[in-house]
A and B are shown apart, each in its own frame.
Chain A
């Protein structure tokens, strides 16, 4: 198992205490592509933030790569995330001060397990795989939404993480681009045997996943 979440409960205190995740248990095995769908406000993003270790304020057990997440100190958590989890957002946020290549290199430069030259080579080859090989020197803000999302996928993969978490990665794209991005994500993660969790409203995505989980008002329907 890449990821095992057991009996996750999550409360928000504002405006008044309310429960957003209700006894959610989910496990994801190696190479599996799982999508989470459901109505707006049902708790998909909240679940993904918990699974990606960005939000540790929850009840229940979360194990990623056999590491008990709650046992990690906050600095250890940051580096754990750096090494094991790649994240893709709806708004494909690239850093505008850096060019395409630098954006992809940043997580690996933080990990600092390879030389800058090796990192550069990895980044260029990943950019080639997502079809952005011709844009390495471009400032990131000069790209279209779909192009930025490709770069974001390359960035999520640079440290060779076992788990990719994507919150509505196609939510901001038209149907054609949306299909292209999903196909890319699916192919590239399959070729590298990565596990992927995608939150989505797009029926094409959840009907083309290995497994689709529906969220209803904080519960998951089994």
Chain B
């Protein structure tokens, strides 16, 4: 005698019941399929966008920015606009070198300036960088659309431009533009590279020149206005406060402060993905619960007969539960396939550049683990919704039913 409820006979009975109700079984499967498909597509898309933004933003900007605080008697001299400089960069450097969580850091000279091409002009904020340091902070090679990266800055009076800014100035690599500082000094720069991070907020305004160029124009050698820091563990931003307590006259900002909208956007997308998928699977689960429940009520006589001819309560639970699990497995597998197909279609759909993101097609994440997750999500829903009707079926008392037949 078979002790295990998982046997061919019980499976045969379950399949017979399923195929006797083809339409209902089909609809229930479609329910699971829709839930799992939605989950896969949404999580592929949402995490695709999240990862894309994370990558672009966190690659393009530092985790912590140390900048000089405005001073009462800022070195005015010939400046018409005060440039706040960090006095004791040496002390900051030694603090950063000792910190375990610092991956790399770079000095910058940041100054407002007006960029003038043959046809256009735009005011902007210019990043004066030390090429060797900065190339450890930002992987610009990967972002280049034209020309060269940071190494081109060490040679001549070169400038690197974000793609949207270059478009607005109507320049490409090799063209020359003029840069005028607030103190009236100006210099002609050659566009040696054009890059795109894919995010409007960066590509619209970001420019890189050599720090020496700005230092010369400002008439102050060795000045530094900002220190940019990349962390090993981005979630630990304790350094932000550590620096302020050790160094006077500086303020700090971390990536969460600088990218509030993106951080919130990521959260919103996560919540949306999980809640919509959960709601859909809840509906699918409730559908299965309903179908099985009605079946159990209709089939009380059959269950009573099965019990009188030797099928135990556990057999009955299995016979009904496996029906819903089969629906779950089929729905989840088909949902995974359809989810992949739709995600693939979306990933190849050309995308008009929006105000926010600059990409050719939608960013989609194709992680295998999401399919595993979606599968379990679907199957667990059906196990859960099938369990109670199955339990109810197993409780049918054959004597009561047969008396009533």
Q: Mark B284-306, 1 if CB is under 8 A from A, else 0.
A: 00000000000000000110111
Which A residues lie within 8 Å of B311 (CB)?
78, 110
Does A82 sit within 8 A of B, measured CB to CB? yes
Cβ 8 A contact of B399, one of A49, A74, A78, A91: A49
For this complex, 30 residue pairs linking A to B, each with C-beta atoms less than 8 Å apart, are A52-B308, A54-B308, A54-B398, A74-B313, A78-B307, A78-B310, A79-B1, A79-B310, A81-B308, A81-B310, A82-B309, A87-B308, A89-B402, A90-B405, A91-B405, A93-B402, A95-B305, A96-B302, A97-B16, A97-B302, A106-B9, A106-B13, A107-B310, A110-B310, A110-B311, A112-B1, A112-B2, A112-B9, A159-B310, A167-B402
Starting from the known contacts A90-B405, A93-B305, A107-B310, 20 additional A-B residue pairs (CB-CB under 8 Å) come to A49-B402, A52-B308, A55-B399, A74-B313, A78-B307, A78-B311, A87-B309, A89-B402, A93-B405, A95-B306, A96-B302, A97-B20, A102-B16, A106-B306, A109-B12, A110-B310, A110-B311, A110-B315, A112-B9, A113-B1
Which A residues lie within 8 Å of B304 (CB)?
93
Cα A159 to Cα B310 in complex, Å, equals 10
Cα A222 to Cα B178 in complex, Å, equals 124
Q: List the interface of chain A (C-beta within 8 A of B).
A: 45, 49, 52, 54-55, 74-75, 78-79, 81-83, 87, 89-91, 93, 95-98, 102, 106-107, 109-113, 155, 159, 167
User: What is the CB-to-nearest-CB distance from A167 to chain B, in angstroms, rounded to a whole number?
Assistant: 8
> Taking CB as reference atom, which chain B residue is nearest A110?
B310
Are B405's CB and A95's CB within 8 A? no
Does B233 sit within 8 A of A, measured CB to CB? no
Cα A167 to Cα B402 in complex, Å, equals 10
Q: Mark B2-21, 1 if CB is under 8 A from A, else 0.
A: 10000101001100110010
Does B77 sit within 8 A of A, measured CB to CB? no
Are A155's CB and B309's CB within 8 A? yes
Q: List the interface of chain B (C-beta within 8 A of A).
A: 1-2, 7, 9, 12-13, 16-17, 20, 301-302, 304-315, 398-399, 402-403, 405
Chain A CB count within 10 A is highest, among B1, B301, B402, for B402
Which B residues lie within 8 Å of A95 (CB)?
302, 305-306
Are A79's CB and B312's CB within 8 A? yes
> Which 3 residue pairs of A and B lie closest in terms of their CB atoms, listed nearest first?
A82-B310, A109-B9, A97-B20
Cα A55 to Cα B399 in complex, Å, equals 7
Cβ 8 A contact of A106, one of B17, B309, B314, B402: B309
Which B residues lie within 8 Å of A87 (CB)?
308-309
Which B residues lie within 8 Å of A106 (CB)?
9, 13, 306, 309
Which A residues lie within 8 Å of B17 (CB)?
97
> Taking CB as reference atom, which chain B residue is nearest A92?
B405
> Taking CB as reference atom, which chain A residue is nearest B2?
A112
B interface, over-half SS: helix
Which B residues lie within 8 Å of A167 (CB)?
402
User: What is the CB-to-nearest-CB distance from B137 to chain A, in angstroms, rounded to a whole number?
Assistant: 69
Given contacts A79-B1, A93-B305, contact A110 B405 (CB under 8 A): no
User: What is the CB-to-nearest-CB distance from B301 to chain A, in angstroms, rounded to a whole number?
Assistant: 6
Cα A167 to Cα B374 in complex, Å, equals 52
Cα A106 to Cα B308 in complex, Å, equals 11
Are A110's CB and B9's CB within 8 A? yes
Which B residues lie within 8 Å of A81 (CB)?
308, 310
Cα A109 to Cα B1 in complex, Å, equals 10
Are A110's CB and B309's CB within 8 A? yes
Cβ 8 A contact of B312, one of A45, A52, A75: A75
User: What is the CB-to-nearest-CB distance from A170 to chain B, in angstroms, rounded to a whole number?
Assistant: 15
Cα A14 to Cα B103 in complex, Å, equals 80
Given contacts A75-B314, A97-B16, A98-B16, contact A107 B1 (CB under 8 A): no
User: What is the CB-to-nearest-CB distance from B9 to chain A, in angstroms, rounded to a whole number?
Assistant: 4
Cβ 8 A contact of A107, one of B2, B309, B399: B309
Cα A98 to Cα B20 in complex, Å, equals 9
Which A residues lie within 8 Å of B305 (CB)?
93, 95
Which B residues lie within 8 Å of A75 (CB)?
312, 314
Which A residues lie within 8 Å of B398 (CB)?
54
User: What is the CB-to-nearest-CB distance from A42 to chain B, in angstroms, rounded to a whole number?
Assistant: 15
Which A residues lie within 8 Å of B16 (CB)?
97-98, 102
Are B2's CB and A78's CB within 8 A? no
Which A residues lie within 8 Å of B2 (CB)?
112
Given contacts A97-B16, A112-B2, A113-B1, contact A89 B309 (CB under 8 A): no
Which A residues lie within 8 Å of B12 (CB)?
109
